[in-house]
Structures are given as structure tokens and as C-alpha cells.
């Protein structure tokens, strides 16, 4: 009896690159930073950021590279509650310190129940808080009117920018792609690795084999990829983007360039169980292989291979 295709209807993530080390960011005030924390994907690269000073606002920040886009930029951040902010609100800012303008402020509220997200000030777009495993949420947002030649700071506040508040959140920044649809026509399996040999006896016809190993593959098509991150009809990462900074301007084209260079990535078959993943290599495409949907979004047939003995179960 074939295995139950439990993952064919799930929404996957593709995670690649190196996680940002938030302990190396600039601290404003005296936030307590604790690295080596469990992250959404089963690793230990997340960082706890604690505002423990009820007499001053505390946060961490880092200047974005001048290679980011002119105008709209896309941001991906993973966050989970450790200790509820005392006013049930946290904020994320992209701040232009030269123009003295907050390009966008993202307000995260309702930490005591199910956190919600909205634009507090500035201009951009924002997804819902997308639930992952173990209390983690994935947040995608854009900031408009960015001037790359100015100094643009990425600011992570545990609380609102009110001096009397305290709390502790866990953050994780890394390149990640959100598929807006389940992987289409997904099928998985294994085959003998290159270098294997198969022989048949000349006299008796008995067959034998020398198998150097087995490769586990997953084939399918990523459907309806928009040009840029979109919120509706459902949140989806876009095609364009150069991934200049961890979690900034991540696009399928940037992932293809990285994966075609034979850098490994994580295939997460079900975002709600994000701590289960398969470290993978890209086998195909090795050339331009994207196609157009009827609505002029893109589709991308892919073939990926496990870098070890892990199988792509549920397909």
C-alpha cells in the first residue's frame, strides 16, 4: 500500500543562507541578548531579546546595506513570545536616520492571545502572523520610499517605544520563501546513485547490482509566483529580489542562484510543523526553466535531492 500523501496539501517553506547573528547588532539601552536559542527550523540560531528596564526604551538595530532596492523592499522576520510585553505590543521599524523618517513601523499586538499585525506608521504592506511550530510566527512586510544611499536602520523592539514597558521575545532572521500554494504534482522517491552498476550473467541470466548509495528526490511545481511578495489572495514570496541581507528582498530568483551554486537549503514541507525539514540540494533547473501562468505570474518546476539519508515523506 503506498504511503499516505500527507504533505501534498500543505504549504511549504524554503529556507536558505545563514541566520543573522542578532547578538552582534547595536543595542540601544541595555537589552539582554541571549544567543543559542531554538529556532523555527530545529536549529539553535535564534536570539532572545529582553527589555528588562522599566525606565527606558531598549531595542537592537543594524544598518542595512546600500545595495537594497530604491523604493520598496521586502522583509522576512520570525518571532515568538518568551515573556509577554507588558502592554501586549511590540514594534519593528525601518528607520531612515538621514531623513529622520520611519519608512514603515509594524505593530504586533495581542501577545496574550493570538498576535496580530498592522502598519503603525509609514507606508508598506504586511502579511498576517503566519503560525509555524512551537509558538513561532513568520511575518513578511514591505517598506516603501527607501533611499539606499541614506542610513536605513532595521530596528527590533520587544515592546512599544514607551519607557515603562518590559518583556522578552525571540527573533530569527534568515532567507526564507513562503509558497502561496502547496507544491503541485508533488511526487517523491529514491533511485540508485550515479556510479552504481547492474550486471546480468551471460550463461544463467542472473542479475546482480553494485549500488553506491541511494538518492532521495522530490519533484513538483511551484505555482503562481508573483513578481514581489503579495498579501492576497494569500501571502506568497515573490520572484524578484537579490537577498542582500538576511531576510531582506528574498525572492525565488535569488534562491535559484544560491541553490544552483550547490549551496544547501532546507525544504520544510509543512510550515505549521517547521521544525521538520530536509536539508537539500537543487538538481533541476540548472537553466532558465520558469514558465508563465495564465495570469502572468510564474510557475517553477523543481527537482530537489536530500543531501543525506532523509526522505521526503508524505508525497
pLDDT reading at 55 higher than 70? yes
In a domain, 281, yes or no: yes
Q: What is the CATH number of the domain that holds 126?
A: 2.60.120
- The more confident residue out of 58 and 55 is 58
pLDDT reading at 3 higher than 60? no
Nearest to 174 by CA among 243, 107, 127: 243
Residues 167 and 207 in one domain: no
Pair type for strands 265-268 and 116-122: unpaired
pLDDT reading at 1 higher than 70? no
Residues 89 and 119 in one domain: yes
- Boundary-marking domain end, from 119, 153, 173: 173
φ and ψ at residue 22, rounded to 5 degrees:
-70, -20
The tally of domains found in the chain comes to: 2
Residues 156 and 31 in one domain: yes
Does the predicted TM-score (pTM) go above 0.95? no
In terms of residue numbers, what domain contains 201? 184-306
pLDDT reading at 38 higher than 60? yes
Let me know: does 315 contact 188? Beta carbons within 8 Å: yes
Mean pLDDT confidence for 82-89: 92
CA distance 203 to 184: 47
Amino acid at each position: 500500500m503506498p504511503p499516505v500523501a500527507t504533505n501534498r496539501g500543505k504549504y511549504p517553506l524554503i529556507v536558505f543562507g545563514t541566520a543573522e547573528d542578532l547578538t552582534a547588532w547595536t543595542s540601544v539601552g541595555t537589552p539582554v541578548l541571549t544567543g543559542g536559542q531554538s529556532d523555527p527550523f530545529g536549529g539553535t540560531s535564534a536570539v532572545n531579546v529582553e527589555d528588562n528596564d522599566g525606565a527606558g526604551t531598549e531595542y537592537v538595530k543594524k544598518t542595512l546595506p546600500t545595495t537594497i532596492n530604491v523604493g520598496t523592499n521586502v522583509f522576512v522576520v520570525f518571532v515568538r513570545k518568551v515573556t509577554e510585553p507588558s502592554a501586549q505590543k511590540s514594534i519593528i521599524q525601518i528607520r531612515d536616520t538621514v531623513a529622520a523618517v520611519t519608512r514603515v513601523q509594524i505593530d504586533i499586538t495581542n501577545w496574550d492571545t493570538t498576535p496580530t499585525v498592522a502598519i503603525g506608521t509609514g507606508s508598506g504592506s504586511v502579511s498576517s502572523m503566519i503560525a509555524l511550530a512551537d509558538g513561532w510566527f513568520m511575518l513578511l512586510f514591505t517598506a516603501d520610499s527607501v533611499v539606499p544611499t541614506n542610513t536605513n536602520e532595521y530596528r527590533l523592539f520587544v515592546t512599544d517605544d514607551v519607557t515603562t514597558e518590559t518583556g522578552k521575545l525571540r527573533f530569527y532572521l534568515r532567507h526564507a520563501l513562503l509558497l502561496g500554494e502547496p507544491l503541485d504534482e508533488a511526487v517523491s522517491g529514491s533511485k540508485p546513485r550515479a556510479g552504481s552498476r547492474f550486471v546480468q550473467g551471460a550463461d544463467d541470466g542472473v542479475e546482480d547490482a553494485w549500488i553506491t548509495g541511494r538518492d532521495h528526490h522530490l519533484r513538483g511545481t511551484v505555482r503562481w509566483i508573483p513578481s514581489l511578495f503579495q498579501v492576497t489572495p494569500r501571502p506568497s514570496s515573490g520572484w524578484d529580489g537579490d537577498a542582500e541581507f538576511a531576510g531582506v528582498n528574498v525572492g525565488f530568483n535569488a534562491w535559484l542562484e544560491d541553490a544552483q551554486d550547490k549551496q544547501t537549503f532546507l525544504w520544510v514541507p509543512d510550515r505549521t510543523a517547521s521544525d521538520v525539514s530536509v536539508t537539500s540540494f537543487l538538481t533541476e533547473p540548472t537553466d532558465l526553466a520558469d514558465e508563465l501562468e495564465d495570469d502572468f505570474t510564474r510557475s517553477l518546476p523543481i527537482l530537489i535531492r536530500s543531501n543525506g539519508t532523509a526522505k521526503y515523506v508524505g508525497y
